Each structure stands twice: as C-alpha cells, then as structure tokens.
C-alpha cells in the first residue's frame, strides 16, 4: 500500500468553461512550472460544450496526480463550479486561478514564505498585470498594502487571491446571485473575520486580456457592477457601518455614503488673518466664504465654528463671521508670531465638539454632505484621521492624500483634472493613505489629545506630516475621502519657503521615507504637464 500523500499547502481552484484549448494548456502549465511543490489543482469543468476541454485536463491529470478534474453534468455557472472546487480542496489555503490566466513561476513560493512568517495569516494577495494575445505583459497594478476602505470602493485585491480554506468554508464559500463580483463578495466576508491580511508587492499573476473580459473592458459585464453594489452594501450592514453604497464614477467603482450621527457635535477649527483675494473675478474675504460654504453644504446641525484670528484681522471680517455663523461661532484671538501648530492647538482647546475638523480659511466646500462624509468614518475605532479631496480654482487636483517616498513628502496626482480617475481609480475611491493635508482633515477629539496634537516646533511646514506619522504610530488608519470635495485656493505657483530645520526635524523623528505603503512612487509622481510650476511639495496648514 503506497503511503498517503501529505496534504498540500495550496489548493488551486479553477472553474473551467469552454476556454480555447491553447489558453487552458498555458494556464495549467503555469502551475506545473511553479518552483513550489506543495499544491493541488482542482479544475472544475462546468459542462463545457466541447468534449476536448475535459480531455485535455485528463491528459494533464494522468501526467501529474496533483491535477484533479471534476466534471459537472450540468452548467451551474462560476459560483457553483467554484464551490465544487472549494468543497474538494485538501489544502490549507485556496488559491483562485481563472481558466485563462497565468501564475508567475514564483507565485506559490512567495505566498508560502509570507504564510510561514505568521501563523495567523488568513488572506494573501499579490500584484498583477495583464497579458495580451501576443503573450506580452502590460498594465502592472502595484497595489497598496491592506486597505479595507479601498476594498469597499473597488475589488482591488483581485489576483492573486489566496484564502485560508477553513475560513472560506466558515463564511459559506461563494454566494449565488453575486456572479461577476463573486470574488469581491467572498473577500469582503473573509476579511471581516481575518486575523491577518498580507500583501505581497510583486507581480505574480498575469490576467489574460481577451475580448469580453473585464481585463479589456471594465463595462463588459454590467451585471457585475450590480452584484458589487449589493456585496458592499451587505458588508456595510454586517459590520455596522450606517450608510448606502451607490455606483461610483465608473463601472467597478463604488461610493459609500455614510450617515453621521445627528447627535455628534463637530467643531470646525479655522486659523485666519482675515485676508481677501480675487476668486473667479470677485474679491472675497476668504474665511467668510469658507465658513458660509461649509455650513451651506452640510445638513448636520450640531456644528461649532472656532475661528482663531490674528490681531490684524479686520473688524468687518469678524462681523461678517458673526452674521454667517450666528451662535455657532467661537472667536479666539491670537497675538503672537505666526505658528500654525500653536494656532490649531489653541483652537482645539476652545472647541467643544467630539469631532474636530481642521479647515484652512482659503477653502470652499463644493460637495453637499462634505462634512458628513469626512467625519462619519471616525466612528470606526481604528480610523484616526480623515482628509478631503481638494481642487485648485481651475478644477485640477490639489490634494488626494499624501504619499511619502524617495526621501520626500508628496501630493500625488496633483494637477490631474477633476474628472480623471487616476491609474487604477485612486481619485474616485476612498482609501487608506499614509497622510492627508491639514487644510481639510478630521479627527476624534480624544485621538487628537492622545497623539499630542500639532507639534509646535513645526510652525509652518510638515506639521501635518508629523501629525499623520503620530496617528500611524498609534496604530490608527488615515483615510482619503473621495466624496468630500472642496476648493483650496492655495496658489499653484507660489515659491516654496520650507525651513530646512523643519524638514530635518521630521526626518530625525520618523526616519527618511523610501517607498509609500499605499501608493508606489511611479504612480504617485506629479502630473508632468504642470510639474514645472511647482518647485517642491509644501505641507503647511496656514
């Protein structure tokens, strides 16, 4: 009697329905080419019209006992066929591979190595690219590290996905009715319970781009978008996030519209000198318009407006603020040399809200519900800081989250137009980021004081970078909120005045940034159409 074969680490589950035979062979051979032996491949033929399909699989099965063929006698579609494979899986982990895609030779060994590092890994995903009909790869997607907020906005983890078998079965496997977004629905349910999620930042999966595939046309399967909307909505309901999932700006993107508890008091903290400027051809007192638009574009009633004003602020500006904000207004005089950090700390000390919103005086709210969407995510206990999407007056992007890399602190996607999605939808979906600008950001009051507020030895620059590092050091997430939109009338061409000692202070405290965890540097570089107008990125809140 031959000894029993040890259980493999991976069960590769591949539902099969009538693929071109050469494509199917390449898929199987990419598994056979793995430099890791502990796998089995379960190919579930979903009653393909061509008898040649199971014949080809049988030929490979006879060559290698790790390849198993399951023949269905009816066509049950992808969810049913996938669940047949899950039911038969003997591996500790299930790896999902489509019948026309390819694994890189090191895919399983690299995933196995990260699993070996932590015994509580329940989900692993890798980077991916596309492979054309000519066999050439292109369109590499270098994904962020684990970003649960982004997963609500798009199925970004996708290929290669490797899930602990026991957990897949616990959550009920794939669900019928979610065809087209069945992977998104499964990963949402698995990660709700997962102890540890790991990203392998290497392209280990090649997604074949063929006619009719979403790899070629994101609108190829319109039913998938409807299924994705339901998957995300049911996820919100399960985890207790009050809100609605609506279709995003393009197929496969979703927007979560959160509800803010009406009893939650919010304090807007705004530093100002009462400056005026010409905006769209008209002279304005910036802080007055900032407060007016902020209040007009929210339905939330319990809003306090704390304005920290320098001595030169004209009395007429303060009178207009009283008129606009009424009894919501708290005026805090400031008579000292300029220090943005000190002004913000002073303002927060006079604020009574459970939620604090930092707001520059040169912003204008333009999306209704901007405040609700910015503040509501802070009800999740592991969210420490949120930041809005900001535009220059010409409708180009000023801020869509910070990225810290290549020894610098950057505004990725600066100068892209308002209707641009970004390389992989980064500008249309809310997501985890390394940092956000203090020109419009929100925190829980208790978190602000726990991390020490703004560092007053950074009076003009990098104070928000330092704050973001402190939030991360506290183990909290920072979110970019794509559906909280404002204009930021900061000059697009102003000369940078960055004190070297401030930059050195941040580096000495937090180290030199090399690669951003959420955005690879090649995607984060400023738009080259306008880069000559910007000497360096600035991070000052005033």
CATH number of the domain residue 524 falls in:
3.90.550.10
| Number of Cβ atoms within 10 Å of the Cβ of 542 | 20
For residue 503, is it within any domain?
Answer: yes
Residue 124 within any structural domain of the chain: yes
Q: Is there a domain that residue 228 lies in?
A: no
Q: Please check whether residue 256 is in contact with residue 232, taking contact to mean a CB–CB distance below 8 angstroms.
A: yes
Token pair 């019948």 in the structure block, residue: 99
272 and 148 part of one domain: no
Pairing assessment for the beta strands 137-141 and 10-16 based on DSSP bridges = unpaired
Nearest CA-CA partner of 479 in 403, 408, 388: 388
Which of 410, 435, 430, 295 is closest to 359 using CA atoms?
295
Nearest to 336 by CA among 307, 306, 311, 313: 311
Last residue of a domain, one of 158, 182, 217: 217
Please check whether residues 187 and 292 belong to one and the same domain.
no
Structural domain total, the chain: 2
Report if residue 287 sits inside a domain: yes
- Looking at the structure, tell me whether residues 354 and 500 fall in a common domain: yes
List per-residue pLDDT tens for the chain, 542 residues long: 445 567 799 999 999 999 999 999 999 999 999 999 999 999 999 999 999 999 999 999 999 999 999 999 999 999 999 999 999 999 999 999 999 999 999 999 999 999 999 999 999 999 999 999 888 999 999 999 999 999 999 999 999 999 999 999 999 999 999 999 999 999 999 999 999 999 999 999 999 987 655 544 455 567 899 999 999 999 999 999 999 999 998 889 999 999 999 999 999 999 999 998 888 888 889 999 999 999 999 999 999 999 999 999 999 999 999 999 999 999 999 999 999 999 999 999 999 999 999 999 999 999 999 999 999 999 999 999 999 999 999 999 999 999 999 999 999 999 999 999 998 999 999 999 999 999 999 999 999 999 999 999 999 999 999 999 999 999 999 999 999 999 999 864 444 566 788 889 999 999 999 999 999 866 666 443 443 333 334 444 43
Residue span of the structural domain in which 515 resides: 266-533
69, β-bridge pairs: 43
Considering only CA atoms, give the Rg of the chain.
26
- Position 517 in a domain: yes
Helix axes 52-63, 21-32, angle to 10 degrees: 20
Contact 299, 262 (CB under 8 A): no
Q: Residues 275, 205: one domain? A: no
- What sign for the dihedral angle of Cα 225, 231, 233, 236? negative
Note whether 351 and 293 are same-domain residues: yes
CA 347 to chain centre: 30
DSSP assignment string, 324-378: HHGGGEEEEEE-SS--HHHHHHHHHHH---SEEEEE-TTEEE-STTHHHHHHGGG
Residue 153: name the closest of 258, 245, 259 by CA. 245
How many whole angstroms separate alpha carbon 276 and alpha carbon 432? Answer: 35
Looking at residue 498, its pLDDT comes to 66
The terminus-to-terminus CA distance of the chain in angstroms comes to: 78
Q: Indicate whether 212 and 274 sit together in one domain.
A: no
CA distance 74 to 82: 14
Asked, for residue 260, whether it belongs to a domain, the answer is no
- Comparing C-alpha atoms, which of 408, 385, 389, 410 is closest to residue 399? 389
Please, are residues 144 and 518 in contact by the beta-carbon 8 Å criterion?
Answer: yes
| Distance of alpha carbon 431 from alpha carbon 477, whole angstroms | 10
- Surface-to-core class of residue 381, CB atoms within 10 Å of its CB (0-12 exposed, 13-18 middle, 19+ buried): exposed
Q: Are residues 303 and 209 in the same domain?
A: no
Closest C-alpha to 42, from 16, 68, 7, 17? 68
- Indicate if 307 and 435 belong to the same structural domain: yes
Structure tokens at 154: 């798009």
Q: Does residue 190 have a cis bond before it (omega within 30 degrees)?
A: no
Question: Is residue 22 located within the same domain as residue 162?
Answer: yes
279, 199: one domain? no
Domain presence at residue 291: yes
Q: Determine contact, residues 31/63, Cβ cutoff 8 Å.
A: no
**Is 424 within the bounds of a domain?**
yes
Choose one of 182, 217, 252: the last residue of a domain.
Answer: 217
User: What does the block give as tokens for 133?
Assistant: 């009909």
What are the tokens at 418?
A: 């308002």
Chain CA centroid to CA 71, Å: 39
Is the domain of 357 the same as that of 440? Answer: yes
Number of H-type helices and E-type strands within the chain: 16, 25
* Domain closes at, from 189, 217, 245: 217
Same domain, 114 and 53: yes
Confidence (pLDDT) at 537:
42
């Amino acid at each position: 009697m031959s000894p029993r074969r040890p259980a493999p680490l991976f069960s590769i589950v591949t539902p099969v329905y009538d693929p071109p035979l050469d494509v199917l062979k390449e898929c199987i051979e990419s598994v056979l080419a793995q430099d890791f032996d502990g796998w089995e491949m379960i190919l579930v033929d979903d009653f393909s019209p061509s008898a040649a399909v199971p014949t080809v699989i049988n030929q490979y099965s006879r060559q290698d006992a790790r390849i198993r063929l399951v023949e269905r006698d009816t066509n049950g579609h992808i969810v049913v066929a996938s669940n047949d494979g899950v039911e038969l899986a003997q591996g500790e982990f299930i790896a999902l591979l489509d019948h026309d895609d390819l694994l890189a030779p090191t895919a399983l060994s690299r995933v196995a190595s990260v699993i070996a590092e932590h015994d509580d890994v329940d989900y692993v995903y890798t980077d991916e690219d596309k492979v054309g009909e000519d066999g050439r790869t292109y369109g590499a997607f270098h994904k962020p590290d684990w970003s649960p907020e982004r997963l609500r906005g798009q199925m970004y983890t996708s290929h290669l996905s490797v899930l602990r078998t026991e957990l897949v079965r616990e959550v009920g496997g794939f669900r019928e009715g979610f065809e087209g977004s069945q992977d998104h629905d499964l990963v949402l349910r698995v990660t709700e319970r997962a102890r540890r999620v790991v990203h392998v930042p290497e392209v280990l999966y090649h997604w074949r781009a063929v006619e009719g595939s979403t790899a070629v046309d994101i609108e190829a399967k319109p039913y998938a978008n409807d299924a994705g909307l339901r998957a995300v909505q049911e996820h919100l309901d399960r985890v207790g996030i009050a809100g609605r999932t609506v279709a995003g700006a393009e197929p496969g993107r979703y927007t979560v519209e959160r509800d803010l508890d009406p009893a939650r008091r919010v304090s807007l903290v705004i530093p100002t000198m009462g400056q005026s400027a010409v905006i769209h051809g008209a002279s304005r007192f910036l802080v007055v318009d900032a407060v007016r638009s902020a209040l007009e574009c929210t339905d939330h009633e319990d809003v306090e407006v704390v304005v920290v004003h320098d001595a030169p602020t004209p009395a007429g500006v303060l009178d207009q603020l009283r008129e606009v904000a009424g009894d919501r207004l708290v005026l805090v005089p400031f008579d000292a040399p300029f220090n943005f950090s000190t002004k913000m700390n002073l303002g927060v000390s006079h604020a009574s809200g459970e939620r604090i919103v930092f707001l520059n005086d040169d912003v204008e709210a333009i999306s209704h519900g901007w405040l609700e969407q910015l503040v509501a995510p802070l009800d999740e206990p592991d969210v420490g800081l949120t930041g809005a999407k900001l535009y220059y007056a010409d409708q180009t992007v000023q801020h869509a989250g910070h990225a810290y890399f290549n020894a610098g602190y950057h505004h990725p996607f600066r100068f892209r137009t308002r209707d641009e999605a970004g390389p992989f939808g980064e500008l249309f979906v809310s997501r985890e980021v390394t940092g956000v600008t203090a020109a419009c950001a929100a925190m829980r009051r208790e978190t602000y004081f726990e991390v020490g507020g703004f560092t007053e030895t950074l009076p003009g620059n990098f104070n928000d970078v330092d704050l973001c590092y402190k939030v991360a050091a506290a183990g909290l997430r920072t979110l970019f909120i794509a559906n909280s939109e404002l204009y930021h009338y900061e000059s697009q061409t102003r000369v940078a005045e960055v004190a070297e000692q401030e930059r050195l202070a941040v580096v000495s405290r937090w180290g030199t940034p090399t690669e951003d965890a959420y955005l690879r540097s090649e995607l984060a570089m400023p738009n080259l159409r306008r880069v000559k107008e910007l000497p360096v990125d600035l991070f000052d809140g005033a």
